[in-house]
Amino acid sequence: MILLFAGAAAAVAAVIQRLTGLAFVLVLIGPAVLIYGAVEGVTVAVLLSVVAALVAVPSGWRLIDWPRTLWLLGAGIAAAPFGVLVTRVLPEAALLLLIAGLGIIALLTPRFGGPAAAVLKGRRGALYAGATAGFLHASSGLSGPALAAYALGDRWEQRRFAASAQVVFLGYGAVSVLLRGLPAEPAGEMLVLSTCTAVGIVAGAALTRVVPVRVARAMMLSCAWAGIAVTLVRGVLALAG
């Protein structure tokens, strides 16, 4: 029953990931931590995020925007070790509040207009967003807000962003797995969860043909803000405790 619940959560997270371009870890992290514990749950979620991205890349291959993707990927991988370092230095409450703060700044920047919004445009914007996303992914798995902010600021077409983001998450996830190691769960159990993840990605790819772009973009931003809200609440509770 527990494995069935975990598999269903992985499938739902994968559908949302393929539709919006992000939010796999955000959707899965709650059930994963509940089932496997705080440390192991994140490790499981990160590994399955690699599976999700790996399966999603072929279905969106024709839509991938390689110049933007490679700049985001390179900057993120370069910043990832700093994210890991911060997790080992900062107390949990301070780390969560820092992550939430960076996410809020990233998502609000495109709305400021003028020089602030220009930061998230073009190659320079990709470098800033990629470095922030890589840092956030390595420290918490929640790299979506920074990527969503760049997509909004650079007016990246939603379906091309959703396809390109899978390559970015594949790179970020692979680095995170190298840094964190593999889950300690039985191989058979991880195979079941990986299969559920793959099925969810395939279903999400089919839904991209019928879900309107504006709905997918709204879902993307909603998921990004939800991730920030959850992180902020966790930070405040850890601070109060």
Task: Read off the pLDDT band of 64 (50, 70, 90).
Answer: very high
pLDDT (0 to 100) of residue 116 = 47
Per the document, the length of the chain is 241
- pTM beyond cutoff 0.85: no
Among 136, 151, 154, residue whose Cα is nearest residue 227: 136
Looking at the chain, the whole-number percentage of residues with pLDDT higher than 70 is: 91
Task: Read off the pLDDT band of 137 (50, 70, 90).
Answer: confident
pLDDT (0 to 100) of residue 225 = 78
Model confidence pLDDT, tens digit, residues 149-204: 888 888 899 889 988 999 999 998 898 888 778 888 999 999 999 999 999 999 98
Helix, strand, coil percent content, the chain, rounded in steps of 5? 85, 0, 15
Of the listed ranges 55-59, 70-74, 145-149, 226-230, the one predicted with least confidence: 226-230
CA distance 241 to 226: 22
DSSP-derived secondary structure letter, 61: G
